[in-house]
Structure 1
Amino acid sequence: MPLPSFARALAHRNFRLYLSGQGISLIGTWTQQVAMGWLAYRLSGSAVWLGVIGFSGQIPILLFASFGGVWSDRFDRHRLLFWTQALAMAQALLLAALVLGHVVQIWHLVVLAAVLGVVNAVDAPLRQAFVVQLVDDRADLPNAIALNSLAINSSRLVGPAAAGFLISWLGEGVCFLLNGLSYVAVLWALRRMKTTSPHRRRSSMREGLKDGFSYAFGFPPVRALLSMMTVLGLTIVPYMVLMPVYAKHVFHGDAQTLGLLMGGAGLGALMGAVFLAARRSV
């Protein structure tokens, strides 16, 4: 039975496995992100600390994501992704242990956010490149990218809503624990995959970075996208860091209020992802 056009990339077994595991893990990721912000504000009562933690999690990505992209071209993406996901799992479980053990301090959050930022600097470009490797028919690649975006944005809706409920009922530590356990799904999916590693060009790190920057800034469509994402990252995305302040002091709410506010952005993104998934070309 043929799959509908909006789900045709699911005909590829490896992509099916990846999407199922990643979908579960991403819900855990957004659950942790909401819980991290709420916990930081509860411990410090300071918007400044929210900014410090947000900065510590993002600055490694700014500094090292280009290196992560080169590594994803030089090494076995399947194996490398398994280890980045395992490290992210360890970070979540350590955070859960600190919170559930009632020994967590604000500096722990800063350090662990930085650790996760370093992992994400490799993991984020790696995952984007790995999706391309999972679809044999290039005609299905736009649909695979759209379905991957659909999974990401669905998690942005479900994860924060779940986090708000869990924080109010059981506390932030349970959110971190569930996120750690959610990585089992993606690790299991990666273990089940049968992939062949394509030939890697063994260029030096310097050559890889030079080629990457030359392509990014020399190809007008990519340059335009990078410019747009830079503007969005500087002017719009940082609002999420301050959402605990708005939830508590502007809307006089609690963790569930924060979950709804964060999930609202996910709803809008999800609608856009559904539209893209139905298209044959973006």
Structure 2
Amino acid sequence: MRGRSCILQLSIFRLRDFRCLGSSMVLNAVGTMGEVVVLGWLALELTSSPFLVGVALGMRALPLFFVGAPAGVLADRFPRHRLLMLTGAGQALTASALGALTLAGRVRFAHLLLLTLVAGVIRGVEWAARQSYTHDVVGPKELINALALLGVAMRAGWLVGSLGAGMLIAHFGSGVAYVAVAVGYLAGAVALLPASAPTGIRRAAAGSLWHGVVGFVTAMRTDRILPILMLLTACAEILGFSHQALLPSMARDVLRVGPEGLGTMNAARAVGGILGLFAVGARGPVRGGGTRFLVVLLAFGASLVTLGAAPRVVGYAGVVIVLVAVNALGAVSDLLSQSLMQLGVPERLRGRAGGAWVVAIGLAPLGQLQIGALASLFGVGIALGASGLALTALAGAAALTFPRVRRI
């Protein structure tokens, strides 16, 4: 029944809460990708160091490793759509503060790191709540399609945010771009005002936050497949998604295309993600999701090796095309990791499954630091190639070492 389950089957849009969630996702994503572009460019302007650009981008993800578990507990205990509204407003405040400092000419690299770190803490709660709220709204049977549709919505917002931020930086400066980022985050929060908490959802038992975190660790020890999925997700984040940290340096120093070129390169990431998610949705329900996850990770690594060689071989236009392929594979790996974690736990632990995913991607700063350091020492191309080869090798090793993953 491929037609019934195809991503183009839009029956879930009849759900008001899903429409609110989708609208919020688009608007929030405008702010998210706009922030990535302006953060990377402003960090490069302030420091002229690819390594410190990696540090700045790493600050977006550094808190996730530490707040993932408590964020999952919060998402199991409180109305998730309200948490999403509060986190959107919080990210708008941090972006507004950076915009004001930049417009006043008083921004320093330390300000950039501190406020980006605060925004990362807020984002950890947002991501745990968003995954579990999606399951609340659509249920397990439609979860794959719902996550794919939301992934498309997110990347559509990325497309607008990346192109818009690049143009705003080029014509008005980073301060105005940060203000636009704040507007995107705030609009995403407002879009959830009509949403409600679905009925029939059992919340986790009350207790201290620490008790909830201990329960999270216990669940991980008893369900061995969840830690394996976390490990594979972390490998994809550290070695795969870290390539975004080198895009500002590639745009300015290798391709010499400026902030608008950087915006186009990030837009290519969004286009690739949309194409990848449509491809998954068109295939219907995930069967053999674990095997597919491993195959995608292998291809993801190979595409990064290609990206490393692309500037010398095919130039700027070729780099944009390769970025589409890289991020199509990245989006599919992202979707599979989220859905496999959500479908592998009971209802009362959905938030904690989202928290497990947040913990895994919270290791991203390690990737951004290592790829930034490699680029500073050996160049952008070698850094990308080394990361891609490492991801391919680890995915192959996981396929041999963890046969249980192939049976998911």
| TM-score, structure 1 normalization | 0.90
Equivalents in 2 of 1:281, 1:223: separation in Å?
Answer: 23
The counterpart of 2:155, out of the listed 131, 153, 156, is 153
Percent identical: 28
Equivalents in 2 of 1:205, 1:258: separation in Å?
Answer: 42
Equivalents in 2 of 1:281, 1:216: separation in Å?
Answer: 26
The one-letter code sitting in structure 1 at the alignment partner of 2:84 is L
Q: Which residue of 1 aligns with 2:17?
A: 14
Equivalents in 1 of 2:90, 2:25: separation in Å?
Answer: 15
Q: Which residue of 1 aligns with 2:165?
A: 163
The counterpart of 1:78, out of the listed 76, 81, 85, is 81
Cα distance, 1:149–1:213 mapped onto 2, change above 3 Å:
farther
Q: Which residue of 2 aligns with 1:188?
A: 190
Cα distance, 1:220–1:270 mapped onto 2, change above 3 Å:
farther
The one-letter code sitting in structure 1 at the alignment partner of 2:85 is F
1:230-253 Cα distance to aligned partner (Å, 9 max, x none): 111221222211221111111112
Equivalents in 1 of 2:213, 2:191: separation in Å?
Answer: 31
The secondary structure found in structure 2 opposite 1:194 is coil
Q: Would you say the 8 A contact 1:7–1:147 is kept in 2?
A: no
Q: Which residue of 2 aligns with 1:45?
A: 48
Q: Would you say the 8 A contact 1:22–1:185 is kept in 2?
A: no
**Do residues 31 (structure 1) and 37 (structure 2) align?**
no
Q: Would you say the 8 A contact 1:166–1:174 is kept in 2?
A: yes
More relative contact order in 1 or in 2 (CA 8 Å, sep 6+)?
1
Which moves more between the two structures, 198-207 or 146-155?
A: 198-207
Task: Report deviation, 1:45.
Answer: 1.1
Cα distance, 1:224–1:269 mapped onto 2, change above 3 Å:
farther
**Do residues 249 (structure 1) and 250 (structure 2) align?**
no
Q: Would you say the 8 A contact 2:53–2:245 is kept in 1?
A: yes
Equivalents in 1 of 2:221, 2:242: separation in Å?
Answer: 25
Task: Report deviation, 1:148.
Answer: 1.0
Cα distance, 1:7–1:213 mapped onto 2, change above 3 Å:
farther
Equivalents in 1 of 2:160, 2:179: separation in Å?
Answer: 17
Task: Report deviation, 1:130.
Answer: 1.4
Q: Would you say the 8 A contact 2:7–2:278 is kept in 1?
A: no
Q: Would you say the 8 A contact 1:58–1:117 is kept in 2?
A: yes
Cα distance, 1:26–1:4 mapped onto 2, change above 3 Å:
closer
The counterpart of 2:272, out of the listed 259, 268, 275, is 268
Q: Which residue of 2 aligns with 1:67?
A: 70
Cα distance, 1:218–1:150 mapped onto 2, change above 3 Å:
farther
Equivalents in 1 of 2:150, 2:24: separation in Å?
Answer: 11
> Where does structure 2 lack aligned partners over 5 or more consecutive residues?
1-5, 287-408
The secondary structure found in structure 2 opposite 1:169 is helix
> Where does structure 1 lack aligned partners over 5 or more consecutive residues?
none
Alignment length (residue pairs): 280
| TM-score, structure 2 normalization | 0.64
